[in-house]
Structure 1
C-alpha cells in the first residue's frame, strides 16, 4: 500500500512525541511504500504563534485560512497523489486522510466542563478560553466527517463515536522500552516503581503518602521514582526514607528497572493514554492504576489493581494503600499472572501490530 506519512518532527526525529511518531513510521515502512512528509515550516510556526496571540488579546483570527492553505500546499508538494494520507495528529485538511490521535479538543472540552479537577492538572488548563475555543473549532473543521481518527485508546474511541460527528477506530499504541525476561525469584520483594515527569499529574504525591504508611507494615519496602525534576520536588519528600528519586533517565534504564521492581504504580489524575503502563506489563510487571481513561482497561488485560477515585485526597491515599498492601501480600500471585500475560501484551502493543491495524482499517474502507 502507498501511504503519505504526514507529521511535525522535532530536531531529534526519534524522540518526537516520546518516540511514537518515529516508531509508527518505521513499523508502517515494513509492509508499505511510505512517503515521509515533513510538515515543519518556519513561517507557518511563526504566524501560528502570532495568530494565537491575536486571538487571545484581540479576539481576531487573522491567519488561519492562510495557514491552512500554506500547510496544504506544503503537503501537496511532498505527497504522492495515488497514496492514502496518514497524519500524526490533525495537521492539514487533506481528503482521504486517517489521523492518529491520543486526544482531541472536543474531549478536552468535555473534561473541562464535566471533570474540572482532572482538567485543572491536564497541562491544558492555562490555555486562554479564546485560544481553547479557537483550537476546538479549527480541529473540528479540519477533521470534519470525511476523515477517520485512528485512536490510541478505547476510551477516546468510544467518546468520539458517541459524542461527536467524527468516526474513530481503535488501533492502539506501541511499546518503546526494551523487553527483558526476568524470573520472579530475581525480582525485588518489595520495590514499587513510579515513572512520570509530571509528578503531581501522575499522582506521585499520592504514591509517596501511601508508601510512607506502607512502610509501617513493610519497613524494607522501597519506592523508585523516575522522571520528575528533583529541583521541583520538596526537600521533605526527597529526604523520605526508602524513596529513591533518580531523575530523568534513559528508556533503556526504565526498561531495566521494569525487570527488577515488584510493581509499577502510577494513579494518574489525567492520562490521555499511558504507554508506560503497557511497557511495564510487557516486562512482566503488575500495575496499580486509577479508575479513569484507559487505565482500567490496561489492568483488565494484565495483572494488577485499580485505585478508586475519590473527592477527598485522604480517601485516595487510603485506597492506594490498600492496593499496594494487597499486592505485596499476594506478590507471587500477581507476578505470576503478569509474567504469564507479558508475551501477549508485548505482541498486542507492538508498533507492528498498531501498523497492521491501521493498514487493515484503510484496506477495509477501500473494499
Structure 2
C-alpha cells in the first residue's frame, strides 16, 4: 500500500487509506504500508514551498522505489497519483478525482499552486495512470475524467467506490415529525456552511419546530433553531458519541459543497438512514443515489426547495430507507473485495513487465 503519509492514520486522506487497509487485513491479506513522504517535519516545510511541488513529488517517487525494492509483495496499490511507481507486480492506482477536475472546478486549494506545479502534476498523473495496470477510482465522475482527460482505455478504469469510517445503524425509532438538519464540515467555506445556515432561516420561518446542527469550526451568530457544536474530535469517545447522537436524531443531512469529489459524510449519513442534499459539482450524486438529491451550490432557491421538501416526514423517512439500502454498496469491506477482484484479474495474465513503465 503506497501512500504519501501514514496509511494507518484515520485522519489522512479522509481516512480512506486506513479504511481500505483495515478491510484488506480483515479479508486475510498482509498489507505492507509504504509511506512515500519525508519525515513529517521536513514534509511540512517542503509542502509550504508550493513552487517546489514537482521536486518534492520526485522525492516521493524515489522513496517509493527505494522502499519497494526492499520488500517482497504480490501487488501494489498506489493511493494518490502525485508520485510514480514502477514495478513488475500488478499495480493499481486509487483516486477520488483528477488534476484536470481540480482545474475545471477552480479549486481554491489547488489554485494556490503555481502554474508550473499544476502542469507538472497533471503530466505526472498521466504517467501514473499509464504505468498502472488498472486505474481505480471512487466514482463514475472521476472515471470519466481518467478516460477523457488522460486518454486511458475505458476497460482499464474501474469504479470500486469507498466506505464510511464512522458507521452507525439506522435507528428504528427516529422521530421524523420534526425536521432536524445536520451538516458536519471541517472545511466550512468549501462545504458551503454559511449558505446552509442562511437558507435554514427561511425553513425555520415555515417550520417553527425545525432545527439545524452544525459541526465544525464555523461559528455563526445567534440564530433561532441553529446549534453550533464547534469541532468534534472523533478520536475522543465523548465527541464521537455526540456525533453518533446527532446522526441518530437527524432527519436530513445537508451539504451543498461548492465542489465535492466523494465525501464520506454522505456514505455515513446514508448508513444511518438519513436522506441527503448534496451538490451537483463533483461525484457525490453517486454516493447519495436514490436516498436524497443534489442542488446547484450557487442556487439558494434550489437548496431551500429541497430542504422544504425533506421537511415532510413521509418524504424524509422514505428517502432515508432508500439511503440506508444504497449505503450497503459503500463499505470498506465491499470496496476492498472489488479492489482484490481487479488485482486478481490483472494477475491472471494481464500484467506487464517493469520496462513498460516510466518514472521520468
Would you call these one fold, judging by a TM-score over 0.5? yes
Q: How far 1:88 moved relative to its partner?
A: 1.7
Aligned pairs, how many? 336
- Match of residue 19 from structure 1: 15
Q: 1:105 — aligned with what?
A: 99
Residue 75 of structure 2 corresponds to residue 119 of structure 1: no
Query: Residue in 1 aligned with 2:354?
Result: none
C-alpha separation in 2, matches of 1:61 and 1:323: 43
Please tell me whether residue 221 in structure 1 is matched to residue 195 in structure 2. Answer: no
Q: CA deviation at 1:308?
A: 3.4
Q: Which runs of 5+ in 2 are unaligned?
A: 235-239, 349-360
Give the conservation status (yes or no) of the 8 Å contact 1:187–1:259.
no
1:362 aligned partner: 343
Report if the CA contact (8 A) 1:51-1:61 is conserved.
Answer: no
* Unmatched tracts of structure 1, length 5 or more: 112-117, 231-236
- Could you tell me which residue of structure 2 aligns to residue 293 of structure 1? 282
Of the three residues 51, 65, 76, the one matched with 1:56 is 51
- Out of 334, 337, 354, the residue aligned to residue 316 of structure 2 is 334
User: Is the aligned partner of 1:262 residue 2:251?
Assistant: yes
- Report whether the alignment pairs 1:272 with 2:261: yes
Shift of 1:52: 8.7
Superposition TM-score, scaled by structure 2 size = 0.83
Q: SS at 1:150's partner residue?
A: strand
Partner of 2:358: none
Distance 1:281 1:258 in 2: 10
CA distance 1:159–1:181, shift in 2 (3 Å): same
Distance 2:177 2:96 in 1: 33
Per-residue CA deviations over 1:192-245 (Å, capped at 9, x if unaligned) read: 101111112111121112111112211222111112243xxxxxx321221111
Partner of 1:244: 227
Distance in 1 between the 2:62 and 2:92 partners?
Answer: 19
| Cα distance, 1:64–1:19 mapped onto 2, change above 3 Å | closer
1:308 aligns with 2:296: yes
SS at match of 2:212: strand
Residue 92 of structure 1 corresponds to 84
- The CA distance in 2 between the partners of 1:62 and 1:224, in whole Å, is 43
The alpha-carbon deviation at position 102 of structure 1 amounts to 0.8
Q: Is the 8 A contact 2:98 2:145 kept in 1?
A: no
Distance 1:146 1:294, change over 3 A: closer
TM-score for the superposition, normalised by structure 1: 0.82
Residues 37 and 75 in structure 1, CA contact (< 8 A), matched pair in contact too: no
Correspondence 1:348 to 2:341: no
Cα deviation code 1:149-175 (max 9, x no counterpart) = 210112001221233123421000101
Alpha-carbon separation, structure 1, partners of 2:192 and 2:245: 22
Deviation of 1:43 after TM superposition, in Å, equals 6.7
Further displaced range: 90-99 or 10-19: 10-19
Distance 1:324 1:227 in 2: 20
Distance in 2, matches of 1:61 and 1:200, equals: 28
Contact between 1:259 and 1:283, CA under 8 Å: does it hold in 2? yes
Describe how 1:144-159 pairs up with structure 2 within 5 A. 144-159=130-145
Choose between structure 1 and 2 for higher RCO, CA contacts under 8 A separated by at least 6 residues: 2
Aligned to 2:61: 68
Tell me if the contact between 1:184 and 1:336 (Cα under 8 Å) persists in the aligned partners: no
Contact residue 48 and residue 63 of structure 1 kept, 8 A = no
Q: Aligned pair in 2 of structure 1 residues 186, 75: CA closer, same or farther (>3 Å)?
A: same
**What SS does the aligned partner of 1:192 have?**
strand
Give the Cα–Cα distance (whole angstroms) in 1 for the partners of residues 157 and 179 of structure 2.
41
Per-residue deviation at 1:281? 0.9
